[in-house]
A and B are shown apart, each in its own frame.
Chain A
Amino acid sequence: MLRLRLHDLRTMIAGLAICAALPGWLLADEMTPEQAEFFESQVRPLLAEHCYKCHSAKAKVLQGGLRLDSRQAALAGGDSGQAIVPGKPEASNLIQAIRWQTSEMPPTGKLSANQVAVLVKWVELGAPWPGEADEQPIAAGKTYDWPALRKAHWAWQPIADPALPAVRDRAWPKHEIDYFVLARLEAAGLSPNRPAEPRVLLRRLCIDLTGLPPTPEEADRFERAVARDRDAAVTQLVDRLLASPAYGERWGRHWLDVARYSDGHGSFLDSAALPNAWRYRDWVVAALNHDLPYDEFVRRQVAGDLLGNEHSVATGFLALGPTYISDGGDLEAISQAKSETLDDRVDTLTRGLLALTVACARCHDHRFDPYPQVDYYSLAGVFNNTTVDEMPLAPPEIVKAYNETKKQIDKLEKERKAIKFRARNAANRKLTADEQRRMKELTAEIDQLKSKAPDKYPFVHTLADRGSEDMHVAIRGNLQRPGPVAPRRFLHIIAGDDPPPFTRGSGRLDLADALVSPQNPLTARVMVNRVWQQYFGTGLVRTASNFGTLGEKPSHPELLDWLAARFRGTSAGDYGWSLKQLHRAIVLSATYQMSSAADERALAVDGDNRLLWRMSPRRLDVEAWRDALLKATGELDPALGGPSISDIGGSRRRTLYAAVSRNGDEFSSDTFLRLFDFPVPRATSEGRAASIVPQQSLFMMNSSFMAARAKALSTRLASEASDQPARIRRAYLLLYGRPATAEELELGLAFLDSPPADDDRLSVWEQYAQVLLSASELMYLE
């Protein structure tokens, strides 16, 4: 916009004027008594009344980094730059702001015309300010005492390796984890719940590790094995589940939440389809199944394309994010779109991997945490030098053939468009005979080319470097208002008082290394906490994507550090970044294996179960719930990987394979998933909600999906058991992994006893099956 560019120009000119005119500034001793009187009687009271609440040393929260309680401070300015340019009211931010041009000050209401005139006159006079002779500019921006800050908050501190705490009940712990949990319980006068029943533990383990419930036969086997040796039975089961490909599908989906994975289609401003996004999804699943060490998992997702072509697919982590465009070419809109795209990359990276809300520092220094604005642009600069690209997975000649045909078609289409445009611009005249003939030819040629054009070759969405330049800090987040240069480098709070600059290409490789550097305590802690969160419903730190000062403190800080130290450690007994070893540690603990039974006294002391006196009951996420339905009805297709499925309702594949659009309105899968709290994949997600709305119940009651499952279950029951009571019992084992009670059996038999209505299209058994499939118990985990 012209206005903004003019404004920038003014700021520049103002800057030059100041440098040149410094010695000639009107100093206090050159001030006339009339000027001093004018200031004291008219200017100072105005400033005091309308500005100082937010722009003085007395302000509770200094707004915009600007103080107006001294001439020196006003000259130094705030986030928007210099507030006054002596002698030049038009170039002074203060004047523009009180005229409500660039911003609208004071926010409580516009000053009167007279008041504005007073301040304009004051600036015209050179902004005389009696009693101030010191014209040294004060340092701009906050200063940070990094060593002190690093000590001040738990998350910035290095990972400790705490010793196991002493506990009274030495018999209970099965694993080191249990000492940390038990010590806190004992201190609070609580004791851990009894171990979960074998069937309950089995269902919990199977769903937690693979997202699929056990079969009744597995349950029988497990119960027998537990009777012989519980610990051996559990260990054997866990190892089997971790080795199953379903493990990668389950935990891959958890990661895709963090990666705000979608198949594109973000509506108008980020509308691109991402037809090969599924290759990244499959990479994640395979990486987890192969237990790719987490540090490498992270490095490849940030800089895989720079580590070798075979790793490019991993950069889908960032490449599949929204890339916003403008809708018409307006400068302001273009700049906003770019700014928002960079924000996506910085936010996904910092909240997703580090649990730091660095994106809050896009417009100003972070209000509460030590992330200066320049740090935001140090990271944004890396992505400003990175582009989203396609890497063909086909031989060059196929790519060439496709591209050449496409080029030809594009050229012809361009010509066709040009003819139409010429005619329309000449006051909508009709096409000449020549033009009509040419149009016909073109259309025929295009159609012919299209008919024999090859399908687009397979490719992966990848990042690619495109430059190596530092960005400028964007004043107030506006890229059209460049501030100082922000060298590409890692965050001060992690990387040291003077982080070394990134030197290789865009800097992504340096960034990837910094993320997993031993100096960085966050990457390991954050992942340990995310894994813990999936098992217990909440993390040791409940704000899984914010470890900053506004996040919550860990409930068991020593346990978090102990696990983080093991997770990334490489000594004997450490996990060497192995996620499978981390899973194994957690699920083999007595803590994980507790019953979820309620206890009046413990509920009164610790209703939220922060101290982990029981396993918290949880609702299944939509994927596990739908997969459990399909498995119980015997319909589940366990095939691995492949393109996303736009109508998951009509498919029997696992829910992981549903196509997901960023705007949530492209695929029929979107509607189904969103009904059950699937996160909006526009930003990294720190966890699922479990909302309960009547539309979910309508789905259970009326959807054709549920009717189809009911039919399938009824058919299965009929083929697997002969009489009604046997079928009911079988249903309970298949669905809930437990025998039916006498009361449930009685209720079922009573329901099945009444004849169907004439117009019912479901048999009584199918109606009964639908009820069992809709029940709370299938959707909850004890």
Chain B
Amino acid sequence: MFHRDPTLPVSRRDALARIGAGFGTLGLAALAAEPALAADAGLAAGGAGSPLAVRAPHFAPKAKRVIQLFMPGGPSQVDTFDYKPDIAAYAGQRPAEVDRKSLRNTKNGLFPSPYKFKQYGQCGKWVSDIFPHVAECVDDICFIHSMHTDIPEHAGAILMANIGHLQPTRPSMGAWLVYGLGTENQNLPGFVAMSPRAQPRGGLSNWGNSFLPGAYAGCYANIAKMKPESVMRDLTNGFVVADSQRAQIELLGRLNRLHADRQQHDASLEARIAAMEMAFRMQMSVPEAFDISGETKATLDLYGEGEYAKGCLLARRLIERGVRVVQLSLSIDGYDIAWDTGHNEIEKGHAKLAQACDQGIAGLLTDLKRLGLLDETLVVWGGEFGRAPTSEGAKGRDHDHYGYTTWLAGAGVKGGMSYGATDRFGLAAVENRTHVHDLHATILHLMGLDHEKLTYRYSGRDFRLTDVHGHVIHDILA
């Protein structure tokens, strides 16, 4: 049984129930209004019994929500944000710093970036000309140039980036965050993973719950073919009209109530009645959140054309409505490790990929800032590793897990900052080396969670996102 604190204000539903209106009426009433109201109704429905109810963080958070702009395949740091003019001076040579084992043959030596770099912003950050829009946002961005990870292979490293482990046997970061914090809008999933056409390699494991309860699994949407009403399975009813369904739901509510009353003291039956009401509302709240047709032309222009840009706009709409974690992975041409086109030929491949996401990402940062949401939203950009400054073949670059760049923007991080460094050619992190576990620890910290305390007892021990590793990078915290 739910024991309600009598001092709490009664919810709209309770009030309506007292004057004899069914909850179905309420669900529609709540949703007919603005998203904020729908979120409010969702909040009211997420009682203490819900696994997704909002939970207090360990300490005051800087960020309430995370948008992870995941770049599978390994974007090259020296062709994007880690400017290394020294490469040109040693073109074709293999100085000691870069004479390290790699997955493929890189005997050809250093290969200068085919792109031009310019300085941007107050901070004077050097950015390559394939990211002209993001470049305009550098004063809001904290670049971590000293990232490193365990292995130079996509599948394992992608899992490391998203779940903190090389094999798919652990919960994803998003699942951990929702487990730790719950979510603000009970009418929407707490964790949404999206990508156009192809899922990042490893698929579901990247947003899965693994051994955490199923309620914490990310909900995946393919935004290329997505229609707002089919983003979630069985979101719409193809069999009866809304009025008929309302009658069905009200009868079901009555019968379930009779059953729950007979089986006294069974909280799960009460929770099931609440879940049914929530589902009824989700039929409208979910398509509404994913429907961008009401956005102004100015907003659409800000994000620009393309599938990833649309994903960026959806990310804003979702976090605006209280979704806790959004993971938006890049893919073009249906490739599950988009940035891996860098093997054969950096120049065209990377330019095309950057173009596919540059304006959308910058639009997202600008829009969040404009709406006052960037102060409470953490945006994380990066792949599973980078690419080596030496060439593979003549024009390509091989994987580089020794050093690469990830950037953060928004809540709680210093803007206009470059943290850590690779060697003078950009191969390996040498200064303030930052492992993926450190990044995860820092993200959790910004969300108000101590990565050593956010644990789940499973199989005889307390598991953490960061396993037995991870240090919060205090130097980048605002």
Please determine whether B214 and A677 come into contact, CB atoms closer than 8 angstroms. yes
Judge whether A702 and B208 touch: CB under 8 Å.
no
Are A747 and B166 closer than 8 Å at their CB atoms?
Answer: no
Q: How many residues of B contact A (CB 8 A)?
A: 78
Report whether A776 and B272 are in contact in the complex, using a CB–CB cutoff of 8 Å. Answer: yes
Q: By the criterion CB–CB under 8 Å, are A330 and B153 in contact?
A: yes
B459 contacts which of A109, A351, A768 (Cβ < 8 Å)? A351
Q: Which residues of A contact B256 (CB under 8 A)?
A: 775-777
Contact residues of A between 729 and 748, Cβ < 8 Å to B: 741, 743-744, 747
A330 touches B233 (CB 8 A): no
Using A104-B471, A267-B204, A333-B151 as known contacts, say yes or no to A761 and B169 having CB atoms under 8 A apart: no
Taking CB atoms and an 8 Å cut-off, the chain A residues in 745-771 that contact chain B are 747, 751, 754, 756-757, 759-762, 767-768, 770-771
B61 interfacial by beta-carbon distance below 8 Å: no
CA–CA, A705 and B366, complex, Å: 45
Q: How far is the CA of A775 from the CA of B260 in the complex (A)?
A: 11
Per the 8 Å Cβ criterion, residues 71-128 of B in contact with A are 100-101, 103
A704 to B234, CA, bound (A): 8
B2-10, B279-287, B289-297, B304-312: which lies at the A interface? B279-287
Taken residue by residue from 257 to 272, chain B's Cβ proximity to chain A (1 for < 8 Å, 0 otherwise) reads as 0111001111011011
**B151–A330 CB distance below 8 A:** yes
Contact between B237 and A702 (Cβ–Cβ < 8 Å)? yes
Contact-residue bracket for chain A: 35 or more
Q: Mark B387-416, 1 if CB is under 8 A from A, else 0.
A: 000000010000100000000000000000
Chain B proximity of A537: nearest CB distance (Å): 11
The residues of A that contact B259 with a CB separation of less than 8 Å are: 775-777, 780
A760 near B252 with CB under 8 A, answer: no
Q: Contact check, B461 vs A683: say whether CB atoms are below 8 A apart.
A: no
B247 interface residue per 8 A CB criterion: yes
Q: Do residues B263 and A698 form an inter-chain contact, with CB atoms below 8 A?
A: no
Asked if B333 is at the interface (CB within 8 A of a chain A CB), the reply is no
Q: Give residues of chain B (215-251) contacting chain A, Cβ–Cβ below 8 Å.
A: 215, 217, 232-241, 243-245, 247-249, 251
Contact A692 B252 (CB under 8 A): no
Residues of B within 8 Å of A701, CB to CB, are 234, 237, 245, 248-249, 276, 279-280
Q: Assess whether A680 is in contact with B208, with CB atoms less than 8 Å apart.
A: yes
Distance in Å: Cβ of A352 to nearest Cβ of chain B: 11
A671 neighbours in B (Cβ, 8 Å): 233
B211 within 8 A of A: yes
Contacts of A703 in B (CB 8 A): 233-234
Nearest A residue to B154, CB-CB: A327
Asked if A545 is at the interface of the complex by the 8 Å CB criterion, the answer is yes
Are A761 and B255 in touch, CB under 8 angstroms? no
A702 is contacted by which of B151, B238, B244, B459 (Cβ under 8 Å)? B238
Q: Does B150 contact A (CB under 8 A)?
A: yes
Q: Which of A322-362 contact B (CB under 8 A)?
A: 322, 324, 326-330, 332-333, 336-337, 340, 347, 351, 357, 359-360
In whole angstroms, what is the CA distance A327 to B103 when docked?
11
Q: 17 more A-B contacts (CB under 8 A) besides A691-B51, A754-B247, A771-B255?
A: A104-B435, A267-B205, A322-B167, A329-B153, A333-B166, A427-B394, A545-B459, A617-B263, A664-B204, A680-B209, A691-B213, A692-B268, A693-B214, A695-B232, A697-B278, A702-B238, A776-B259
18 contacts between A and B (CB under 8 A): A266-B168, A267-B155, A268-B202, A327-B153, A332-B151, A337-B156, A340-B166, A369-B460, A683-B169, A692-B275, A695-B232, A697-B278, A699-B233, A702-B236, A702-B283, A756-B244, A771-B251, A780-B263
Interface of B toward A, CB cutoff 8 Å: 51-52, 100-101, 103, 150-156, 159, 166-169, 201-205, 208-211, 213-215, 217, 232-241, 243-245, 247-249, 251-252, 254-256, 258-260, 263-266, 268-269, 271-273, 275-276, 278-280, 282-283, 394, 399, 433, 435, 459-461, 471
Give the 8 A-B residue pairs with the shortest CB-CB distance, closest first. A357-B460, A697-B279, A694-B279, A327-B153, A268-B155, A328-B153, A327-B155, A702-B234
